[in-house]
Structure 1
Amino acid sequence: MHKQIKDKIESYPKIIIHRHVRPDPDALGSQLGLKKILQDTYPEKTVLAAGDDDEAFRFLGTMDDVDDDDYRGALVIINDTANLERVDDERYEKGGALIKIDHHPVVDEYGDIQWVETHSSSTSEMIYVLAAQNAGWKLSEEAARLLYAGIIGDTGRFLFPSTTERTFEAASALIKYDFDRSAMYDELYKTSLKLARLKGYILQNVTVSDEGHAAIPLSKEVLERFEVDPSETSQFVGMLGDIEGILSWVFFLEEESEIRVRFRSKGPVINKLAGEYRGGGHPMAAGARAESWEETKRIEEQLQSICREYRKENG
């Protein structure tokens, strides 16, 4: 697979790299890290990163201005995206060939080459392995910084079960490069005062059922009260995992036309439930969409049932 990807890259003079909407550190780290590796290894090629910029992650880098003409005869690579609906910038279809690189369970099968490793902690880890195993590929300090950020983000600083021996081997290799890890951590985990206050609201209002499930609804009114945009709440999704008694939890975030659903778990498998509501993801971390608050009640009831069954099976 690595050789197929390398051969495909070497056969195209222009490469455009995409990732999913509302990017996280892994989406951006793998996208911009791969871009930097290819620019350094193949300076004669044009390598572009497509998608919208995210103000919260500008410290990782920014996107390129990509014209429609750029796609003519270009190789398109989509990173960290299980389903086509979530690809940032629909023009990915205009390229001459398509490669999928992802670590999520398969939702949509797409691409002339599909490299999917669900056992990988992150797509950034996969990009590191790809670079390490392709002789002659150049890994700079900047590329190492980006890939390390992606691994840190998707493993929760190596706390999540997806962290493996290979993850630590990749991280060990990447920190040998001279980039400022402390500055990266500061940017990844800094919290504004308004978000800190919203965090307090969440902790004050969370309730835990006997089955071990929890749900936090964040309506437009609540978000407006704290002057927080739904996209700014992503850093809170894992915070309930430290609370004793919680097995799985869900955040409901009201946006303009739908309610975004974010699941997390410490045991019960929740990605199948997400799949029932226009979403998907990993067994312990997934997302979906609800069309109404009535539908969120059904989601919560199903999550409660999943937690109940998990407790029966695991004592």
Structure 2
Amino acid sequence: MKQAILEKISKYNTIIIHRHVRPDPDALGSQLGLAAILKEAYQNKNIYTVGESEPSLLFLGEMDTITDEEYNGALVIVCDSANQERISDDRFRLGAELIKIDHHPNEEPYGDVVWVDVSASSTSEMIVELVEGSRELSLSKSSALLLYAGIVGDTGRFRYPNTKPETLRRTALLLEQDIEVNDFYAELYKRDLRMTRLEGYVLQHFEIHHGCVGVMKLRSDVLETFDVTSNESSQLVNTFSSVEGLMVWVFFVEEADRIRVRLRSRGPIINGIAQEHQGGGHTLASGATAYSWEETDEIISKLIKVCESE
């Protein structure tokens, strides 16, 4: 599959790279990192990255603005998006061929070429693996930093169980490019006054159910009070994760027409619950959508049951 992707890349003069909506470091790291690698290897090709911006991650890079005409005869690559519904910028369908590169469960195998590796820590790690298998592609300081950001983001700074020996070996290849790790962490964990105050609110108001499920309900009026967006609030999902006894925790964030659900776990499998509520993801880190506060209570009940069954 990797060889098929490399052959497609060498064939096309225009390559447009997408990723999922509301991007996290892995989505942006894999997208922008792959773009940087291709630009360095093929200076005569047109390489673009598209999608909405995420203000808190602008230090990683910005998106390109392109017309629909650019998709004519183009190769489209989608990084880190398990299903088509979550792909940012629905023009991904306009290209000549479509490649999917992802590490989430392959519940929707869209595209002409599909490379999914659920054993990989992140899509960014898969991009490093792609470079390893190529004679044309290589890492640079700029691309390595982007891929490092993605791996760090999806492994929780190498603390999550998805950090395998191969993950650390490939990370070492990135560090060999002399990237500025301290500057990266300073940007990644930088918090302004709004976020710091909201973090204090979360610590004061989260609840623990049955001694094992941590719950935070962020209603829209609270977000307005602290002038924080729903996307920005994702930075706080692990704020109380170290509380003794917690097995799983969940953030419910109210938006205009739905309630965003962010699920995390220390062991119990939670992506099945996410799938039951318009979502999915990894076994220990998933997302879903609820459409009423009553539905959020159902999710809490399911989380309690999955913890009690452990």
Question: Which range, TM-score by smaller chain?
Answer: over 0.9
Taking the TM superposition and a 5 Å limit, the aligned residue runs for 1:140-219 are: 140-219=140-219
Stretch of structure 1 that moved more, 280-289 or 170-179 = 170-179
Deviation at 1:179, TM superposition (A): 2.4
Taking the TM superposition and a 5 Å limit, the aligned residue runs for 1:234-253 are: 234-253=234-253
The residue aligned with 1:109 is 109
The residue aligned with 1:271 is 271
Counterpart secondary structure, 2:152: helix
The residue aligned with 1:48 is 48
Is the Cα–Cα contact under 8 Å of residues 145 and 179 in structure 1 kept in the other structure?
Answer: yes
Is the Cα–Cα contact under 8 Å of residues 203 and 239 in structure 2 kept in the other structure?
Answer: no
Is the Cα–Cα contact under 8 Å of residues 16 and 49 in structure 1 kept in the other structure?
Answer: yes
Deviation at 1:196, TM superposition (A): 1.4
Counterpart secondary structure, 1:269: coil
Matched letter for residue 28 of structure 2? L
Deviation at 1:176, TM superposition (A): 1.2
Matched letter for residue 116 of structure 1? V
1:139 matches 2:106: no
How big is the alpha-carbon RMSD for the aligned residues of Structure 1 and Structure 2? 1.0
Deviation at 1:107, TM superposition (A): 2.5
Matched letter for residue 231 of structure 2? S
Distance 1:59 1:209 in 2: 38
Q: Deviations along 1:109-151, whole A, 9 cap, x unmatched? A: 1011110011111000000110121112121110011101111
Distance 1:147 1:191 in 2: 22
Counterpart secondary structure, 1:34: helix
The residue aligned with 1:229 is 229
Distance 2:90 2:239 in 1: 33
Percent of pairs with identical residues: 48
The residue aligned with 2:300 is 300
Q: Deviations along 1:150-206, whole A, 9 cap, x unmatched? A: 111111110111101011001111111122111100111111122111111111122
Counterpart secondary structure, 1:115: strand
Distance 1:242 1:135 in 2: 44
Is the Cα–Cα contact under 8 Å of residues 81 and 102 in structure 1 kept in the other structure?
Answer: yes
Counterpart secondary structure, 1:120: coil
The residue aligned with 1:313 is none
Is the Cα–Cα contact under 8 Å of residues 211 and 308 in structure 1 kept in the other structure?
Answer: no
Q: How many residues align?
A: 310
Q: Deviations along 1:57-112, whole A, 9 cap, x unmatched? A: 11100001121000000000000000110000000000000000000112211011
The residue aligned with 2:257 is 257
TM-score, normalised relative to structure 2: 0.98
Stretch of structure 1 that moved more, 17-26 or 132-141 = 132-141
The gaps in structure 2 that reach 5 residues or longer are: none
TM-score, normalised relative to structure 1: 0.96
Distance 2:190 2:60 in 1: 14
Deviation at 1:210, TM superposition (A): 2.9
Deviation at 1:211, TM superposition (A): 5.0
Counterpart secondary structure, 2:44: coil
Distance 1:199 1:62 in 2: 27
Is the Cα–Cα contact under 8 Å of residues 240 and 246 in structure 1 kept in the other structure?
Answer: no
Stretch of structure 1 that moved more, 280-289 or 175-184 = 175-184
Distance 1:221 1:233 in 2: 13
The residue aligned with 2:28 is 28
Distance 1:129 1:225 in 2: 44
Distance 2:13 2:153 in 1: 32
Distance 1:304 1:277 in 2: 16
Deviation at 1:10, TM superposition (A): 1.0
Is the Cα–Cα contact under 8 Å of residues 121 and 154 in structure 1 kept in the other structure?
Answer: yes
Distance 1:289 1:206 in 2: 19
Stretch of structure 1 that moved more, 25-34 or 46-55 = 46-55
Distance 2:213 2:91 in 1: 40
Is the Cα–Cα contact under 8 Å of residues 121 and 167 in structure 1 kept in the other structure?
Answer: yes
Is the Cα–Cα contact under 8 Å of residues 241 and 266 in structure 1 kept in the other structure?
Answer: no
Is the Cα–Cα contact under 8 Å of residues 97 and 112 in structure 1 kept in the other structure?
Answer: yes
